[in-house]
Amino acid sequence: MQGDYYDGLTSRRRRVAVSVVDGDLIGEGDGASFRWPLKGVRILAVEAGLIRLAPRSGDGRLVLDVAEWEAATGLSVRAARRASRNREGRLVVWLAVAGVTLAVGIFVGIPMAARPLARATPPGIEADMGRNMASQLQVALKPCTGNPAGQASLNDLTRRLTRDVDMPFVVRVIPVHAPMVNAFALPGGTILVTDDLIADARSSDELAGVLAHEIAHIEKRHVMEAVLRSLGLGLVLDAVVGGGSGAGQQAVLLASSFTEQRYSRTLEREADERAFELLAANRISTAGMAAFFERLADKTSPEGVNRAAEWFATHPDSGRRATAARALAKTGVPAMAPGDWTAVRQMCPLSPNKPKPPWPLRR
């Protein structure tokens, strides 16, 4: 039988003689030749008495008379198309199974593996990661250097809070300039506290509560857990959608946020409970922690402001945290002497472009 062959590289049509030999479809003529396994030949289209064929792989195309094709191969077009649809159906099923397996791995497997992996991570590796992250963040979040005596007071408070904490890291607290009320821990023991948080705190007890909470995250390896979860999702997303910030990646990240929120609230509750223990062990009043949560519950922040902390957990509702903290509040000694607290407040003088806190500075 005669057919028209296109090699897929040029638009030239070649007239070839086509035959079926030993289960292969063979074509020769006009300087072209090909041999396609008949079982792998795909039917692309059937119209006007002509059938368009292609090999399982490759760019070649062949156009034959339908009746001649059926006579030479003994295959009806209807049966061949039904077999092709069956193959496509099996492919769809396998793709669906692969998609479900991948989704389970992203949204269940990675979060479940993050905690044991975090606890198994060598402290030296975590500390190196934290130092690298701190150096990058401090390009944008400049450390406060207004009063060196304030840093000494912070160091003393940190040593007291970590005195009985069993962890392989030396915790250091660094106040930084940033347009947000926040504090967050990095892997390996570094805690960044924003100048807005220090200005927002009405007493050293409130600041001590915040620091105790972040120290608890470090002690329980929550920080490394969050980093591993984020890195795991990122690696999978790069493999699936090729990295970048396309719509596909954003859709998967949006869906994964529900998993992140569920896990983060558990971690935050653990950190709150441990923070109370650390404060109580040092006879520091826990009422400051409750008061700080109560004020946070009355405030709203624009979405997306805190880019630096997006590695880490989403905090549960401040109102519920305030209620729980108030129920467990205990009296104690001030976290800092008045002079030490004043020195800390002077480390980060308010920028002229920032509003001052609506209350007088006091211990």
Determine contact, residues 343/153, Cβ cutoff 8 Å. yes
Please give the pLDDT value at position 313.
Answer: 37
Q: What are phi and psi of 67, to 5 degrees?
A: -60, -40
Lowest mean pLDDT among 65-69, 232-236, 275-279, 355-359: 355-359
Lowest mean pLDDT among 159-163, 189-193, 244-248, 341-345: 244-248
Q: How far apart are CA 18 and CA 29, in angstroms?
A: 9
pLDDT-based confidence at residue 269 (cuts at 50, 70, 90): confident
Q: How far apart are CA 186 and CA 266, in angstroms?
A: 19
Q: 287-323, pLDDT tens digit by residue?
A: 888 788 777 765 544 444 344 343 333 455 566 666 6
The structure tokens listed for 91 are 């492919």
CATH fold for domain 2-75: PH-domain like (2.30.29)
Please give the pLDDT value at position 341.
Answer: 95
Q: How far apart are CA 53 and CA 304, in angstroms?
A: 54
What average pLDDT is seen over the chain?
A: 78
pTM strictly above 0.85: no
Q: Quick one: average pLDDT of 212-236?
A: 79
Q: How far apart are CA 313 and CA 306, in angstroms?
A: 12
Strands (E), the chain: 2-6, 14-21, 24-29, 32-37, 42-47, 50-54, 61-65, 172-176, 183-185, 190-194
Amino acid present at 18: V
Amino acid present at 7: D
Q: Quick check: 246 pLDDT over 70?
A: no
Alpha-helical segments (H) within 105-173: 110-120, 123-140, 148-161
Q: How far apart are CA 223 and CA 214, in angstroms?
A: 9
The structure tokens listed for 240 are 């699936």
Q: Quick check: 198 pLDDT over 90?
A: yes
Q: Quick check: 153 pLDDT over 90?
A: yes
The pairing of strands 42-47 and 50-54 is antiparallel
Please give the pLDDT value at position 2.
Answer: 94
Q: Quick one: average pLDDT of 191-214?
A: 93
Q: 55-79, pLDDT tens digit by residue?
A: 988 889 999 998 998 888 887 777 6
Please give the pLDDT value at position 297.
Answer: 61
Residue range(s) occupied by CATH 2.30.29.30 in the chain: 2-75
Q: What are phi and psi of 23, to 5 degrees?
A: 80, 10
Q: 78-118, pLDDT tens digit by residue?
A: 766 666 666 667 777 877 877 676 556 555 565 667 778 77
Lowest mean pLDDT among 46-60, 198-212, 262-276: 262-276
Among 233, 263, 267, which residue's Cα sits nearest to residue 250?
233
Please give the pLDDT value at position 197.
Answer: 92
Please give the pLDDT value at position 239.
Answer: 47
The structure tokens listed for 245 are 């910030």
